[in-house]
Structure 1
Amino acid sequence: MSQLKTLSKLLQQEKFIETQQKLQEKNLPKGITVLLHGFPGTGKTEVVMQLAKSTDRKIMKVDISQVKSKWFGDSEKIVKKIFTDYKSFAKDCEQTPILLFNEADAIISKRKEVDSSNVAQTENALQNILLEELENFEGILMATTNLAENLDSTFERRFLFKVNFQKPSSEVRAKIWKSKIATLRSWQYNNLAEKFSFSGGQIDNIIRKINIEEIIHGSSVNFDRVEQFCREESFSTQPSTIGFINIK
């Protein structure tokens, strides 16, 4: 939260301009690069959206999966074009926009051993180009990933802020449940929070199913049904039998 509060203040236009000027005077990179990493469904992308909204900045979102073209050589050109397009986009914006790399592990994962594989060579070449672009970057870049442990160490210093998103505590989960469903009792919010270690995104899935159920059947969903939805949400909660059983 401390880092996010700093970012929120930093991206206010007056502070942003002042910061870039000071960094440039000290011959330091003036680009603001942020890696938001952690458990899925904890709000990484949503935080980027809210930062952009609160500071009146536009977002240029990049679908990383489309960067990795099957045609050898195309991917490198696409990465360069992303940054060229961003510079052009920035010129049309009143304030420096945010370049968002969603699920960035697809392009900044650990390097592969260089062998006869064109795929390994292409992915390593992609990373070299991206490292070069980040070294000279002067805008605002935010990247999200669920797999920070798989990122190549060469990218570590390229990100000025590294914000770790953890699963909410039981107390926070209870508050999330209460903010989403107004019809339960206090002990029921606490019960759901303690029994199911969900992220905010997983809780949202259940809330959507509750709304669908109420539309289809025209009646409110009771607590037992909410618990059932919770049990269905995680693969790990489904009982399974492996091996042979005796049939009599």
Structure 2
Amino acid sequence: MELVQFLMAVATRHEREKDDHEEEIKELNLRQKRNLSGRTNFTLTYDDELVLLKGVIGSVRGKPTCLKKLTIPAIGVLAYILMAKVENDVFIEGHEIVTKLVYDPEKTIVYLKGFAELKDKRWIRVIDRPGMSFTDQPPFSWLQAWLELSESFEKAMGVSQDNSRAFTSNDSFLDAVYSYLYALIHDDINRYKVTDSEAVLETLEPEGWYRRIAQRIEVSTCPLPAAEAQQKYSLSILQHLTLMGLLAQRDGDLKFDFNDPSEVTSLFARGRVCRKRMKEHLFGEKSQLKHHRFLEGARSEFGETVQLTQLGIKALLGKHGSKSTGQELKMRVKKNTLFDFEEPKVNKESLQLPTPVMEAIRSLIFSESQVGQQIRKGWHLSLPAAWGSPTGSTVLLYGPPGTGKTLTAQYLASELKLPLLKIDASRVLSCWVGESEQNVRRIFDDYSSLQKELGKAPVLLLNEADQLLGARDAGSNAVDRMNNNMQNLFLEGLERFSGILVATTNRRDLLDEAFSRRFTYKLELPPPDRMLRIALWQNHLPMNRLADDIEIEQLADLGLTGGEIRLVIERAVRLLAYRGITTIDKKTLTDIAREELACRMKRNGATGKIGFGAVTS
């Protein structure tokens, strides 16, 4: 501990002295500006930064023998790395250490040589991050590299800095493991990978960082279900890490595809034979992860994948952690997927559609109920040949803006008591080659994962579907090929879809005809007729706050759609609240309605009469 105390004293004393030195330099510069001759009686305590650091190190008593051969810059670098680790800063970048030591940028190279000195002595590890620095050439690439104290330095200290630090919660243990996995993911020199084809994977124990985590577990007294899962379920360390990696990806704590067995295998092993053995150990039929049903595999049109099951989540998080709260799930979905997560509550009377459309919607709701699914199954069994159609419900809603397409999807989710996963087609499309296709895969993969986690099929709403499902082009340029590939992937996904999908479009004529066969329901939502408009005004207006001059039939004659009626009433309420008026009058509604109609006509390039009597159907 003598070494730790000495270096901590150097770092803390240097911080104080460097602040004073910087203030002195500012004072000196100020005096020189005031004195044009450049003469001043003010002198600096230290001539430069290296002299300052040398003075600080010399002022700390009891310099350990193991530091005698190190240069002054190397001791300064080591002191600040140790301070960062003691303060629990898991990932320290090189530039953070240099910034603490340097006032004059020209001295940067001096301290980078200190990095090299400590690296040669094997007291620190420098984990390069290609692509993150302005250069990949050391030593300047080390400014964006991660710095880590090695086992050799810990031996010199006489004790690991983590040994006495017990975990305070299951989350703190998982955070430590995620940090270790992060180092593995960004290890470009295979330091952590299995390279021995004869290694016994069941008993293999990673060295260094992971061993320090194990030592912290031994001194921890709080429940650590994630740590206890290894021994409880006879998992190897590699299987245990894979399980926690799947949880980290699920919660958005690590950006790595643990669902891909090939990616995970390459993370832990190098060389063809090692990777083959690793894949069998982690994902083979004899794997403890499969035996305990902590993960499940699937071979879909998008390749082989594995998913973390509820049993796996429960094993890591304990009996209270198998289900996310609604708010946690909503935040996780927004953070890790392309979806927006909603739990809509729609009043039945607020959806006013033509009778045939409402009947189709209600039949869909019934068919997705428990009783409806049983009846459907009976019908299917009575058919002379097995159906190859999707087991899910796919709905195409088309019609002009404001006719209730999005509201219909929300109504479906509300009636079925299911969450709504909403995505605009524009979020799927990307200007980068291959990214749009990846986003299509993500839609179906993420939906499948959430469906399994929730134990039920959410309603998936794809807005502006014509942008994604438009007619395919036989062109040979790269953009046409990308669009065709993306649409082919979507067609394949629809063929195997087992949930509830609602796609909306204002322009059905733009859709590729091949998609039409994939939708169980194709429902047109036309502009409402006069009777529906009367019902819409009645359902949206606060009937107990209407002025005497309001006549619903005259409002219906304006010819507004349901979406436009809602907007007009919303604007009127805000305006009247601002004016301090508690009732809605005819003039306010009419003026705002005229503006809304004018906007529609300008948008559509149409001209015509605006006001009562403009539409009488």
TM-score by length of 1: 0.86
**1:156 maps to 2:513:** no
Match of 1:140 among 497, 500, 504: 500
**Which residue is 2:487 aligned to?**
127
1:232 maps to a residue whose letter is: E
Q: How many residues align?
A: 237
Confirm or deny that 1:55 pairs with 2:416: yes
Match of 2:238 in 1: none
- Could you say if the C-alpha distance between residues 95 and 73 of structure 1 is closer, same or farther in structure 2, counting changes exceeding 3 Å? same
* Alignment-derived partner of residue 208 in structure 1: 570
Q: What is aligned with 2:427?
A: 66
Mean CA deviation greater in 10-19 or 220-229: 10-19
Conserved? CA contact 2:422–2:463, under 8 Å: yes
Give, in angstroms, the shift of residue 60 of structure 1: 2.3
In 2, the alpha carbon distance for the partners of 1:154 and 1:122 equals 17
Q: Which has the larger radius of gyration?
A: 2
Q: Mean alpha-carbon deviation: is it higher for 18-27 or for 34-43?
A: 18-27
**Cα displacement string for residues 145-201 of structure 1 (whole angstroms, at most 9, x for unaligned residues):** 11112111111101011111111111221222233332156972111211x211110
Which residue is 2:436 aligned to? Answer: 75
Match of 2:232?
Answer: none
Question: Cα distance, 1:62 vs. partner?
Answer: 2.2
Matching residue's letter, 2:412: L
Provide the rounded CA distance (Å) in 1 between the counterparts of 2:537 and 2:499.
Answer: 38
Aligned-partner Cα distance in 1 for 2:463–2:601? 29
CA distance in 1, matches of 2:469, 2:439: 15
Q: Which amino acid aligns with 1:199?
A: T
1-structure distance, mates of 2:531, 2:473: 42
Query: Whole-Å Cα distance in 2 between the matches of residues 149 and 99 of structure 1?
Result: 22
1:88 maps to 449
Q: C-alpha distance in 1, partners of 2:378/2:422? A: 26
The answer to whether the 8 A contact 1:231-1:237 is kept is: no
Alignment partner, residue 2 of structure 1:
359
Q: CA deviation at 1:97?
A: 2.0
- 2:580 partner letter: G
Compute the displacement of 1:57 (Å): 1.9
Q: 2:369: which partner in 1?
A: 12
Amino acid at match of 1:109: G
Q: Is residue 2:590 matched to residue 1:227?
A: yes
Structure 1 stretch 48-57 or stretch 82-91: which is displaced more?
48-57
Are the aligned partners of 2:420 and 2:458 in contact in 1 as well (CA < 8 Å)? yes
Task: Report the Cα offset of residue 14 of structure 1.
Answer: 3.2
How far apart are the structure 1 equivalents of 2:497 and 2:361? 21
- Relative to the length of structure 2, the TM-score reads 0.36
The CA distance in 1 between the partners of 2:466 and 2:377, in whole Å, is 28
Alpha carbons of structure 1 residues 175 and 21: separation in structure 2 relative to 1, 3 Å: closer
Partner of 1:40: 401
Q: Which moved more, 1:14-23 or 1:81-90?
A: 14-23
State how far apart, in whole Å, the 2-side matches of 1:59 and 1:180 are. Answer: 23
Distance 1:75 1:142 in 2: 20
Say which SS state the counterpart of residue 92 (structure 1) adopts.
helix
C-alpha separation between the residues in 1 aligned to 2:584 and 2:476?
57
Equivalent residue, structure 1, for 2:551: 188
Structure 1 position 2, deviation (Å): 2.1
Tell me, yes or no, if the aligned pair for 2:434 and 2:482 is still in contact at 8 Å.
yes
- Relative contact order (alpha carbons < 8 A, sep ≥ 6): 1 or 2 greater? 1
- Unpaired stretches in structure 2, ≥5 consecutive residues: 1-357, 606-617
